[in-house]
Structure 1
């Protein structure tokens, strides 16, 4: 496989991941936040068994196996439930934007815990990302503290889960870089996520799962997108241009918001797009600050 082809496949993974916010929200509206997420990750895990295969767990370092499982499962649950519990579709897209603080936070974790060297402009990069998220949460008026408080108060658990998820995924990326040693436990992690969600579904009161053709189609597409995205990303990282893939991934907030807006028929304000662009710029600045 040529390097350009592998890079193109890796970029396809970014496109597939960008559909997650809209598709997860669409599935949760029919099957419930927990039931919908459980169905998505179960089907995705089965798909990964055929595309990536089941990992040889004995070859994993104990630190990667334990920390990777805990962090990955926790993050995916936070992401899925934060989108499903959002009060409205527009709010689900805003919650998704909070989640995209993770690229900047990953750089911060790499600096603090992995000894990553960085130039001073990583600090304004972090601040711009935070400002962008605040701008998104401020509604049509941009940075508006009163509107931000009112927005978060309408669905506090959703925003808390999204914010925690951003930190958890940054920690997962840091742990993976330090302890994985080239191993890929994604199939195991996704299957464990599905199992954890099913245990939560059957052990607590949950709304009925109402299947309809639109929900079933979104469920299938979401599972396919998640499963194929991880498989494609693996090919891109192993055989493609990692630098180009890194740059492409930092534009995910804008692409994800555009696709979610289309899939959910939820128009977004100009202030939202301004904030989304700030998140992208801040993430890129953080990334560039770590380059040699």
Structure 2
């Protein structure tokens, strides 16, 4: 016990980051569940509201004047757009299995972030970056095509089944990649996550009131799920902020690239989804492609 206590004390910030990654891995399952319990927009609006309140409780109420204006406008706009696209792509999917496909598409953002960084950088990069990015995209195609095998006709047929959700999922991946690159340059080391969560909740509530979604019907079970989801997602961001203070950034960065695996595993258990071998192979390809991108660019830098 003394050894474990000493290890935890010395590596507490790294442990915070590990917990944050595991908490983030639940977002696919929770968003989909809330969309079924309430509605896609209403469920997401309530979840982000709970998360925003939780973050304000543990991190304090953000002061708008302390953040750079460009960061608030550009970074905030990208953050809100990403969260809405992600939440609605998961909630509006035709089935739980299709929601899993949306989640995997979203996890293209690490590879896209590196691709964008490479394109705007004047430095030479390892040639392995490009096949690694292609590997990640192949993994997504593998998940969408299923056991039938990858072909353009099959991919287009599956996408045409619900084109809006696929569009939002791909948009989410691209938007978050841009967010990661842009905010690093304009945030001046500030983190307005709490404020951005509040803005996301507000935008979703406006969208909900102008939508045709049914009124929200609360039960004890659905309310507990809502509170759990909001607190878990908010806690993930709060713990990650703490991890950045003194955690092992290389270890956490590497571990974060396995989030698609953790997320798929949790969602398949929580939502009682039976995934095919080809889907898991696609998840592995997305993870491997993104991880190789990270490793070869880290060595180069």
Coarse TM-score class (shorter-chain normalised): over 0.9
Pairing partner for 2:21 from 14, 24, 31: 14
Contact 2:56 2:62 (8 Å CA) reproduced? no
Q: Which of 140, 149, 171 pairs up with 2:147?
A: 140
1:1-292 matches, within 5 Å, as 2=9, 4-113=11-120, 118-292=125-299
Task: Name the TM-score, length of structure 1 as normaliser.
Answer: 0.96
For residues 177 and 117 of structure 1, the distance between their equivalents in structure 2, rounded to whole angstroms, comes to 20
- The aligned length equals 292
Out of 47-56 and 11-20, give the one that drifted further: 47-56
Alpha-carbon deviation of 1:77?
A: 0.2
**Structure 1 range deviating more: 35-44 or 114-123:** 114-123
**1:228-270 deviations in whole A, cap 9, x for unaligned?**
0000101111210111111011000111011111111111000
Q: If the length of structure 2 is used for normalisation, what is the TM-score?
A: 0.93
1:26·1:215 contact (CA, 8 Å) conserved in 2?
A: no
Q: CA separation in 2, counterparts of 1:106 and 1:230? A: 19
Shift of 1:2: 4.9
**SS of match in other structure, 2:61:** coil
Given the superposition, is the C-alpha separation of residues 115 and 58 from structure 1 closer, same or farther in structure 2, using an over 3 Å criterion?
A: farther
Cα deviation for residue 178 of structure 1 reads: 1.0
Q: Tell me how far 1:147 sits from its aligned partner.
A: 2.9
Once residues 242 and 105 of structure 1 are traced to their aligned partners in structure 2, the CA distance between those partners, rounded to angstroms, is 20
5+ residue gaps, structure 2, are 1-7
Post-superposition CA distance 1:155-177 (Å, at most 9, x none): 11111000000000011111121
For the pair shown, which has the larger CA radius of gyration, 1 or 2? 2
User: What is the alpha-carbon distance in structure 1 between the residues aligned to residue 44 and residue 10 of structure 2?
Assistant: 35
SS in 2 for 1:138: helix
